[in-house]
Structures are given as C-alpha cells and as structure tokens.
Chains A and B, each alone.
Chain A
Amino acid sequence: MYSSRKICLPIVAVLLAAGSLAGAAEPGSFGYGSVATPAQIAGWDIDARGEDGAGLPPGKGTVDRGADVYAEQCAACHGTFGEGEGRFPKLVGGVGSLRDERPEPTVGSYWPFAPTLWDYINRAMPMQAPHTLSADDVYALTAYILNLNDLVPNEFVADRNSLPKVKMRNRDNFIWTDPRPDTMTKPCMNDCANAADVRISSTAEGRNLTPRTTGPLDTMQQK
C-alpha cells in the first residue's frame, strides 16, 4: 500500500513543472541533463571572435612555419600561392576588384577580421581531416596566408595578441544592419505596362547549363 505522501510528491513535481511552462522559469526547473563542468566546456569551447579575438588560445606561429604546413596541408586545393585549384576558393588576390563585373572576394580583398581566419582554419580545415592541426600550426597558417596577401610582414608572428591588431583591407566596408526592405512597389493589377514594351532581356534557352531533371543524376561539367 502506498502512503498518500508518496503519491503526492510526484504530483507536486508535475505541478511545479507545469507552472514553469507558463511563466519565466527558474534555471534548473526541469533538472534534466547535467551541469557542464569547466573541463567539459573547455573541450568544446573552440570559438574565437572576429572583432577582438576573444577566445583565441595560447600559442603562436611564424610565416615560415606556415609556408611548410601550407604546402603539406592546403596547397593541393588552394594552390601553391593561394590561387585556388579548380573551383576551390582562392585565398589571395582580388584587391580592388569588389566593384568589378567579376569581383574576387578573398582573405586579402574581402575578409574583415583576421581572427576569423584562425577560427575557420581551426574549426573546418583541412577539409578531409578537420581538427588535426595544433593551435601553433593554425597560427602559423594564419600568418602565412595573411603574408601571402601582403597584410603582414615576413617576420610576423601570429598569436592571440597580434591577430586582432591586423588591419584587414575590407574591414570598414560591411554594413551590419540589414537595410531591407529596399524595394517598394504598389501592386498594380491592370495596364501596368505597355504590352509593346514587355521584352525578354535574357533567356535560359540554349545555354546548356542545366543538368537534366529526369533519369539518372547528371554529371555535366561547365563547357
């Protein structure tokens, strides 16, 4: 036979949980999971903030060391001097091209913050074996790629203090508040244009860029 006290306890717990659904709950109301320990957090806390480098770890790397690591780990896709192989991204060049018909956004011409380069290499590169480089080697690669882009001198040593101070060329050309909606239209219903003025300015017909949409997957490459 259960005592009434034993039955009541779960009910109280349910009521507490239900109450917490309605309004702002106290932290830990549900009590699910475990509190993350500092050691657990340290294991996953890999991010480095672009603007000020907050989160960059200890360690350092030179341009020379970076050249060696780059040749081994990066050049196959990104090219010996960052020029990019095939359709893999160029890392170098394009300075002054952003208003051109065919702009080339690269680390040198486009990226606004140097610590972001450390963060990205560390979190995602090399593509086939991510998270295998030491912090020192990531610093070295960052130094080398910045140097390829003439952003730092040959003797530059990348570390948590030096990277946030690197002045990136495109840093001041980002607008971080969305200006949309940037088109205004009143939805006209009748005689919205002169029918004679309706003209096709471009057509996809005959361009031979579109893979087939029936049968097996297409393997077409650009002509």
Chain B
Amino acid sequence: MGRRRFLRRFLGLGAVLTGSLAVGGKQAMAHPAQESPPADAPWSQSIGAGVVDRPYGRPADTEASVIRRNVPWLTASAESSVSFSPLQDLHGIITPNGLFFERHHAGRPDVDPAQHKLMIHGLVERPLLLTMKDIMRFPSVSRIHFIECPANGGMNWRAAQMNSLQFSHGMVSCAEWTGVKLSTLLEETGIKNQAKWAMVEGADGAHMNRSLPLDKCLDDCLVVYAQNGEALRPEQGYPLRLVVPGWEGNVNIKWLRRIKLGEKPWHTREETSKYTDLMPDGTSRGFTWLIDAKSVVTFPCPEKPLDGPGLYEIRGLAWTGNGKVKRVDVTMDGGVNWQSARLHEPVLSKALTKFTLPWRWDGRPALVASRVIDETGYVQPTIAQLRAQRGSNSVYHNNSIQTWQVKPDGSVFNVQLA
C-alpha cells in the first residue's frame, strides 16, 4: 500500500471512529445499547501481527484456561499418572493435539526418531527391524478413532465424587490417526500357523507391554506416526504408537518398539495386577479390552452452568468400541421421560459422535442425562445396573449414564440417582 493511500485510509477510519464515539455518547443516555453500532475496538484500529509471528500457532491468550489438568492427590507421582482433556471447552469430535488426555506409566520419553526402531519377531517367517523411514514407506491409511482410558469415570464408581466434566470424563479423546495397518506389517513378516497372540511393547522406561489376540491385530489395528495431520505428539507416543480401535487406552502402546507373536498371552503386570476388574465375589475379570458404549452431556455441565431460563442447546458426545453410535436419548427429569437427540455427521465407527437437542429451560430443578444405544443394540447402563453386576471395586469400565443436577440458579452438579 502506498503511503498516501495508507494515510488516507487511516485518517478516514479515524474520522468514522470519532464520529461514532460522539454519537454513541450522546444517544447512550436516551437509548442505551440500541442506537449506535459498537465503537471500533482497539484491535480494529491498528495493524495486527504479521505472518510467522507465531511460526507454530497457538490458541488465543484468553483461552489459557483450556488445558489438560490432573488430580494431584490421585497418584503417587506425575510420571505414572493421568491428565484429563477439557471436554467442557471442546466443540467437535476431534481433540486438538495439545489437549489429548495423557496416561504415562514411566513419564513421557523424548524419543529420537532417527534412532527409533520397531522390531517384529517371534512366531513370524521373517523377523524385521524397521526404521521410521521404512515404516512411512508402507501404504498409509488415515482413520478417526477415540481412545479412552478404562479408568475414565473410575473415581465415580463408589459415589459421585468429581464435580467436573473434565475430571469425570476427560480421559477420552479422539483424533485422525495416520500410519500403516498392522496387518500389512505382519503380512510382510509372515505369520506362523501357531501364532495366536501378539505382545506389544513401548520404548518408555517401563517398556509398557500388553498381550493382544492376533485376530484383533489383523482386523483393524494401526501402527501410526501421525495425529490430526501432524507427527504424533510426544505425549501420544512420538514417533510411533499402536492404535487398537475401540479397545481400552493402555493397549494402544505408545513409543512402540516391539511386536512379538506367540502362542499364548503373556499375562503382563498391566493385564494382571492392573487393568483387571475386581468383582464383589473376589474374582477378577481379565482381558476386558472392549470399551462399552458411553455418552455424556458436555453442556450444561459443572464447568458450564446455565445463564437463566430460556432456550438452550443440550450438547454431548457418545462413543462405543462396538462400532457406530445408533441413537442417543436425553432426559431432563432423571430418566422418567427421554427424547432422542440429533446425531451430527460424521457418525464414524469407534469415534466420538456429537449429539444435540434443543431445550427450553423453565428455571426449575432438572436432572439432565444422556443414554447411548450402539449399532449392536447395546444400551448404556445406569450406575445402579453396573453396581448390581460388578459392585464398586472394579475401578475400570464405568460407562454408566452421567446425571447432571441443574439447580434453579443454573448451577450444575455431578449426582448419582438411586
């Protein structure tokens, strides 16, 4: 822009601004907030920052509260711990990479991709050692899937404890993953007939490992290097992780370094001492990989109360390890009456699905909850139904209906119903 044109435009803007301020000031006394357009804001009166001012973008400074958060009293150390996604401030089915929940068993290693390798061995015809470059040459696929820690909601097994959407449901996130199908890699090594299981292992300090049935590996598992279009974040396993669609988070091994095929499961510490479900009769369920169907109302919620009576849009998320969400029902009266919500496209298999329902709140107390039905016909249970089967010491796989109590002042609380 020439200097003259710039000055002309700048001066013109100043004239308009001065005028509007003057008019606004005069008329505000007679008809507040109606007559004049709002004054030009400071950011409209100056030139903004140039490109590459932030070569890798970041959220607006005013969004600084929208972060992963932890429960400091929950775990012995931050290195073997969890953080929760701020679901109350997220608006779609994709979790931004910086807000994807974390679960580490020995902290977040910072892996050098140039040195990282994946070994595939055991009951294979041709054991392989692959570099990241090798892996990225294989035919690639991109798929959108959620990952949920089976302990998501674990703090509410016994009673309503966490007065927060972030801390009651934030150990679920969803991303577009890009990588190579595990079946492609296993066909490249060849699979011996006796092989029935795979042991998958990370390069972290805990060499975190789990056993997986070979059928699942060949069905839909992915070995991925990208998340929402960019390289995996270190917190999600950079440079390489396993994605096991619809199964509990901990089998989606991060910093994946080794896959070994065998005849039998390994019964590792993470599938015996941990990630097993203790029943009231003292027995435990092992290999409970599947994430059952679950849904939650994300607005309103304890973090996002209502602002007086009127028309609102109930919003929420639903997901199931069985495949696709078929229907979500919403109640405002604690489950006496239900209405089916609108599902928003895309409705993808083993991915978060968004639902909404308009609601005119009359200002009276309400008990808001959602209930998902998946494509297998499975219906999300109440906490009472789950406890009747599993007691309250099973820690994992609490997929029960979440009830939010709305008080007349619009505040929202996590409650459970008898």
What is A's interface to B at a CB cutoff of 8 Å?
A: 20-21, 24-30, 32-36, 40-41, 44-47, 49-52, 77, 86-89, 98-99, 103, 105, 107, 110-113, 116-117, 119-120, 123-124, 127, 130-131, 170, 173-195, 198-205, 207, 209-211, 213-215, 217-222
Contact = CB atoms under 8 A, between A and B. Distances in A.
B338 A33 contact: no
A44 B119 contact: yes
A46 B44 CA distance: 62
A contact patch SS? loop
B176 interface: no
Contacts of B379: 183-187
Given A182-B390, A211-B71, A123 B206 contact: yes
Contacts, number: 283
B378 A181 contact: yes
A32 B286 CA distance: 37
Interface in B354-403: 367, 371, 373, 378-379, 381, 385-386, 389-390, 393, 397
Interface residues of B, number: 109
A55 to B, nearest CB: 9
A32 B130 contact: yes
B127 A198 contact: no
Contacts of A35: 126-129
A113 B272 contact: yes
Contacts of A180: 288, 290, 292, 397
Contacts of B184: 25
A201 B267 contact: no
B167 A222 contact: no
A209 B302 CA distance: 14
Most buried by A among B138, B161, B272, B276: B272
Contacts of B337: 189-192
Nearest to B257: A44
B410 interface: no
Contacts of A116: 267-269, 272-273
Given A44-B258, A204-B163, A198 B334 contact: yes
B385 A33 contact: no
Given A41-B127, A188-B338, A204-B414, A124 B273 contact: no
Contact of A119 (B137, B208, B268, B334): B268
A200 B416 contact: yes
B209 A47 contact: yes
Nearest to A198: B334
A14 to B, nearest CB: 12
Interface of B: 65, 67, 69-73, 75-77, 79-80, 86, 88, 105-106, 119-121, 124-131, 134-135, 137-139, 155, 159-164, 166-167, 184, 187-190, 199, 201, 205-209, 257-258, 260, 262, 264-269, 272-273, 276, 278, 280-290, 292, 302-303, 327, 329, 333-339, 367, 371, 373, 378-379, 381, 385-386, 389-390, 393, 397, 405, 413-418
30 contacts: A28-B190, A32-B138, A33-B130, A35-B126, A40-B119, A40-B129, A44-B119, A50-B266, A51-B264, A51-B267, A98-B284, A112-B267, A124-B105, A130-B106, A130-B207, A131-B207, A185-B379, A187-B329, A192-B338, A198-B333, A198-B336, A201-B416, A201-B417, A203-B405, A203-B413, A210-B163, A213-B86, A218-B69, A219-B72, A220-B72
A51 to B, nearest CB: 6
A77 B79 CA distance: 14
A178 B415 contact: no
Contacts of A186: 379
Given A21-B139, A191-B337, A199 B418 contact: yes
Nearest to B303: A213
Contacts of B281: 99
B138 A189 contact: no
A47 B415 contact: no
A141 B389 CA distance: 38
A52 B262 CA distance: 13
Q: Which of A40, A110, A176, A219 has the most CB of B within 10 A?
A: A176
B290 A178 contact: yes
Given A99-B280, A123-B209, A187 B385 contact: no
Given A33-B134, A124-B105, A213-B65, A185 B417 contact: no
B73, B208, B209 — most chain A CB neighbours (10 Å):
B73
A175 B303 CA distance: 40
B163 A120 contact: no
A205 B403 CA distance: 13
B399 to A, nearest CB: 9
Contacts of A111: 272-273
